[in-house]
Amino acid sequence: MKFSHKLALAMLALLAVVLNAGAAWLVRSSFDSQLEAAQRQNEAHHQRDAYGVKMALIEAGAGPYDTDLLKEYGQRLQSYGGTGGEWMALYSGSGFPVWSSLPEAVTATDQRAALTAGDTAVTYLDTGDGIFQLYATKVEQAAGSAWVLNAYDVTGLFEARDALLWGFARVEGAAFAALVVLVLAMSRMLTRPVARLEEAARRIAAGAYDERTALKGEDELADLSRSFDRMAQAVQQKVEQLDLSVRQRDDFVAAFTHELKTPITSMMGYASLLRAGELPPEQRKKAADYIYHETKRLEALSRKLMVFMELEHTGTLELEPLELKTLEARLRRIRPPQAKTELVFEGFEGLAVLAQSDLVLALVQNLVSNAERADPADGKVTLTAEAKEGRVTLAVKDRGRGIPAEELARVTEPFYMVDRSRARAQNGSGFGLALCARIAKLHGGELAIESEVGKGTTVRFDLKEAGR
């Protein structure tokens, strides 16, 4: 059963209870008031008749009276017409019936029960044909005593009550029918946000991670909607991250396979020719040079791969103060003698950073190597340092070929090369910037790359200033 239907049934059940209870209370209150009024009136009439009997006994004097006196009084009262809906019976003091105008439905047993109750209570009698109130009072005088029994027909009150109940039932039936339609409409309106949430959850489960409910309002359901949308946003981000991770892994495997397969195939071909001994000396030297060159490149690739994998599993680093002038000196010391590009250092004097010195050296060295491969037009690579708000920004600038804008987002992916053939010719592996990005991240920063084709590239990263 749908929640809206459950809600509608609950509301209808509650309304039914309230309506029935309200109608019953109203009818009961009205009936009790009318019955109480009738009881007061009938009791007053009964006392009047009892007083009449008393006066008759007084007229009899002090001597004993016979039953004819009571019978005469009853007949006289009947001759006066009595009152509509009223009946009377007279008994001697010993309880012997003397005279009665009571209907046959009021049996002798019923009359005896009323006499037994006496003055203390009103007796109700339902004969099937009518409902009566019975009052009995014993009158005593010097002449003797007598019982006065009155019966009053109150059937009309009970019939009116039943008619009112049926009237309320008909009104309630019509009202309930209208309420069913109204409650169903209200329940659908109230549960529409829940249905929207359910639909959104189903669509997200089916893969539509950008689905949102976007319900308006200030109630609990609107709050739930906003929480749901925040959860959906988080799920979408996690899924996108997983997709990116899987895509990067697949690209990594494909690139790594390609980087190994192509040179190994060529090296196996050249090695087979060398083993056959059928090559002239010039071609043998060419084959040996190729094998040597590719072996050195693959060796460098394996080293970088091992470093990269190690860094991927590195959590935190123990950072120590590092003078930038010391970093400059180490860079100059490990420069190959045949390097033609000029290194220009600006702002390194007097600055120190918190770093793992070997890793930062590898980072800057890789950036310098990339800048040199970019073939700077002015023949120099500029390294700058600038301190600001407790951070030191290091930048490596060149005026080389530059990187196309559409390639910038991927240059830090392992094995990614903007110009694969040129990079391979320069012993490039596609791992340099990936290593740099990881090292920068371990130091609490990120690589920021700005580049323009034909004008050069600038790579920046931040380190925490020592002593701050």
Say if residue 274 is in the same domain as residue 360. Answer: no
Say if residue 245 is in the same domain as residue 307. Answer: yes
Say if residue 112 is in the same domain as residue 7. Answer: yes
Residue-level pLDDT at 250: 67
What is the domain extent for residue 434? 316-464
Say if residue 115 is in the same domain as residue 87. Answer: yes
- For 435, residues 6+ apart whose C-beta sits below 8 A from its C-beta are 304, 307, 308, 311, 362, 363, 366
**Residue segments in the chain with a per-residue pLDDT below the cut of 70:** 1-13, 15, 60-66, 77-85, 120, 143, 184, 187-192, 221, 248-262, 297, 300-315, 337, 414-431, 468
Residue-level pLDDT at 162: 83
Structural domain ending residue among the three candidates 145, 161, 177: 161
Residue-level pLDDT at 349: 92
Rounded Cα distance between 212 and 201, Å, is 9
Residue-level pLDDT at 1: 54
Q: pLDDT per residue over 9-35, tens digit each? A: 666 667 677 777 777 788 788 888 888
199 lies in a domain? no
Tokens of 212: 């949102």
DSSP β-bridge partners for residue 396: 383, 459
Q: Residue 340 half-sphere exposure, CB side, CA atoms within 13 Å?
A: 7
Cβ-defined contacts of 226-232 (< 8 Å, 24+) = 228/197, 228/200, 228/201, 232/200, 232/204
- For 237, residues 6+ apart whose C-beta sits below 8 A from its C-beta are none
pTM over 0.95: no
- Let me know: does 132 contact 106? Beta carbons within 8 Å: yes
Between the CA of residue 305 and those of 317, 328, 333, 435, what are the distances in Å?
20, 26, 25, 9
Q: Residue 293 half-sphere exposure, CB side, CA atoms within 13 Å?
A: 14
SS3 303: helix
Q: pLDDT per residue over 186-229, tens digit each? A: 766 666 677 777 777 787 788 887 777 777 777 776 777 778 78
195 lies in a domain? no
Residue-level pLDDT at 4: 57
- For 412, residues 6+ apart whose C-beta sits below 8 A from its C-beta are 433, 434, 436, 437, 447, 449
End-to-end CA distance of the chain: 66
Label the pairing between strands 342-346 and 380-388. parallel
- For 135, residues 6+ apart whose C-beta sits below 8 A from its C-beta are 42, 43, 46, 114, 122, 123, 149, 150, 152
Say if residue 303 is in the same domain as residue 324. Answer: no
What DSSP letter does each residue of 449-465 carry, written as one string? EEEETTTEEEEEEEEEB
CB-neighbour burial class of residue 230 (10 A; exposed 0-12, middle 13-18, buried 19+) = exposed
Rounded Cα distance between 237 and 209, Å, is 9
Rounded Cα distance between 396 and 385, Å, is 9
Say if residue 233 is in the same domain as residue 274. Answer: yes
Q: What is the CATH number for 104?
A: 3.30.450
What DSSP letter does each residue of 379-406 carry, written as one string? SEEEEEEEEETTEEEEEEEE-SS---GG
Between the CA of residue 419 and those of 123, 320, 328, 385, 426, what are the distances in Å?
115, 37, 30, 30, 11
327 lies in a domain? yes
Say if residue 264 is in the same domain as residue 119. Answer: no
- Let me know: does 436 contact 412? Beta carbons within 8 Å: yes
Residue-level pLDDT at 353: 93
Tokens of 354: 């918190």
Rounded Cα distance between 321 and 352, Å, is 6
Residue-level pLDDT at 315: 63
DSSP β-bridge partners for residue 127: none
- For 5, residues 6+ apart whose C-beta sits below 8 A from its C-beta are 187
What is the number of structural domains in the chain? Answer: 3
Q: CA angle, 293 as apex, 287 and 298 as ends, to 5°?
A: 125
Rounded Cα distance between 403 and 387, Å, is 27
Say if residue 80 is in the same domain as residue 24. Answer: yes
Say if residue 421 is in the same domain as residue 407. Answer: yes
Q: What is the CATH number for 271?
A: 1.10.287.130
31 lies in a domain? yes
Q: What is the CATH number for 427?
A: 3.30.565.10
Rounded Cα distance between 341 and 328, Å, is 15
Say if residue 238 is in the same domain as residue 342. Answer: no
